[in-house]
């Protein structure tokens, strides 16, 4: 199981244990879909999300497009642009000849922390996130309201080309995928099955990230079959996009010397008890 998934499971268990006596339900969504937050908490009067962030992590990315020799906010982004994304786009366009050459390695973009954190906070609020949970260097849990994220994290803004995601495997590719799978994993006893019209693979090994991609001459240039890890040796079979758009990505790193006593589970308990 990937490190982020193990970390997410640990944070969910911690919240379940600490909130057990407060008439709450803690629900883990358990996926890598950035449009859905990680953990939802229900009480009699409140429903909100908690975002899980490792001490070094990424968050709140958005796609930018190049059209007529300028950068634009991607028209397929889930949430609308705002003054923070507008400021970032302006910086890209002020240095267009440099940033138009962006590749997978990417560029650090000199964006003010006010704009970077402003976008991240607005993005999380759009998803219903009220708190962030992480751990400090001594592995103590840290919980903080989302609008105070800058008190525990540093932030860098990165422009990088990135594939635009994946979708469920179309039926037209099913037979070809089975052949690719057989060539790659014939020594394992695996099982393919459908669940809610989605194709899944059960294989009794933890696949590395590189092993989750299977190429084929039948696919368009840039595409591949993708095994999305759902835990317990279960993988959803998908196909990646052949688009490779520039993305603005925000990289978080935990600050040193955080006062742990200021950011505890009491933050959530007080929020639950507030009228």
Question: Can you count the helices (H) and strands (E) in the chain?
Answer: 6, 16
Task: Work out the average pLDDT over 243-248.
Answer: 86
Classify residue 184 by burial, with Cβ atoms within 10 Å: 0-12, 13-18, 19+.
middle
In whole angstroms, give the CA distance from residue 82 to residue 126: 12
In terms of residues, how long is the chain? 275
Range in 28-37, 62-71, 196-205 with the lowest mean pLDDT = 28-37
CA atoms within 13 A on the CB side of 28: 18
pLDDT of residue 263: 93
> Which range has the top average pLDDT, 25-29, 61-65, 76-80, 118-122?
118-122
Mean of per-residue pLDDT scores for the chain: 91
The alpha carbon torsion through 213, 216, 221, 224 (nearest 10 deg) reads -20
Those residues whose C-beta lies under 8 Å from the C-beta of residue 163, and which sit 6 or more positions away, are 222, 240, 241, 243, 244
* Closest to 198 measured CA to CA, from 226, 164, 163, 162: 226
- How does residue 30 score in pLDDT terms, banded at 50, 70 and 90? low
- 208 has which bridge partners? none
Task: Give the CA diameter of the chain.
Answer: 60
pLDDT of residue 120: 98
Q: Which two tokens stand for residue 182?
A: 């057989």
| Res. 175: pLDDT tops 70 | yes
Task: Work out the average pLDDT over 266-271.
Answer: 95
In whole angstroms, give the CA distance from residue 229 to residue 3: 12
- How does residue 37 score in pLDDT terms, banded at 50, 70 and 90? confident
In whole angstroms, give the CA distance from residue 80 to residue 77: 7
Digit-coded pLDDT (tens) for 59-74: 999 999 999 999 999 9
- How does residue 274 score in pLDDT terms, banded at 50, 70 and 90? confident
Task: Work out the average pLDDT over 47-59.
Answer: 95
Q: Which two tokens stand for residue 20?
A: 């057990």
Higher-confidence position of 2 and 77: 77
| Helix (H) / strand (E) containing 190 | none
- How does residue 31 score in pLDDT terms, banded at 50, 70 and 90? low
The b-or-e profile of 149-163 (16+ CB within 10 A means b, else e) is bbebbebbbbbbebb
* Closest to 229 measured CA to CA, from 261, 255, 201, 257: 201
SS3 state of residue 206: coil
- Residue 272's alpha-carbon distances to 17, 40, 129, in angstroms, are 16, 13, 14
Task: Work out the average pLDDT over 22-39.
Answer: 77
Query: Are the CB atoms for 157 and 111 separated by under 8 Å?
Result: yes
Task: Work out the average pLDDT over 225-232.
Answer: 90
**What is the separation of C-alpha 105 from the centre of its chain, rounded to a whole number of angstroms?**
19
Query: Are the CB atoms for 235 and 200 separated by under 8 Å?
Result: yes
């Amino acid at each position: 199981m990937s490190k982020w998934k193990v970390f997410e499971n640990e944070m969910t268990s911690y919240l379940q244990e600490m909130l057990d006596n407060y008439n709450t339900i803690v629900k883990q969504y358990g996926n890598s879909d950035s449009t859905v937050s990680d953990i939802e908490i229900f009480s009699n009067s409140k429903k909100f999300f908690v975002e899980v962030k490792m001490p070094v992590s990424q968050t709140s990315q958005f796609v930018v497009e190049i059209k007529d020799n300028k950068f634009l906010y991607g028209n397929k982004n889930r949430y609308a642009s705002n003054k923070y994304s507008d400021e970032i786009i302006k910086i890209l366009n002020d240095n267009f000849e440099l940033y138009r050459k962006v590749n997978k390695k990417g560029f650090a973009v000199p964006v003010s922390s006010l704009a970077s954190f402003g976008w991240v906070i607005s993005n999380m609020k759009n998803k219903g996130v009220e708190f962030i949970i992480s751990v400090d260097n001594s592995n103590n849990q840290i919980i903080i309201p989302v609008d105070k994220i800058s008190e525990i994290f540093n932030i860098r803004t990165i422009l990088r080309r990135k594939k635009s995601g994946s979708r469920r495997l179309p039926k037209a590719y099913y037979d070809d995928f089975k052949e690719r799978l057989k060539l790659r994993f014939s020594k394992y006893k695996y099982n393919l099955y459908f669940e809610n019209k989605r194709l899944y693979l059960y294989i009794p090994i933890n696949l590395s990230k590189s092993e989750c991609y299977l190429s084929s001459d039948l696919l368009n240039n840039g595409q591949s079959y993708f095994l999305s890890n759902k835990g317990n040796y279960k993988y959803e079979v998908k196909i990646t996009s052949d688009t490779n758009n520039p993305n603005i990505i925000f990289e978080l790193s935990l600050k040193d010397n955080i006062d742990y006593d200021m950011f505890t589970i009491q933050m959530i308990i007080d929020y639950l008890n507030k009228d």
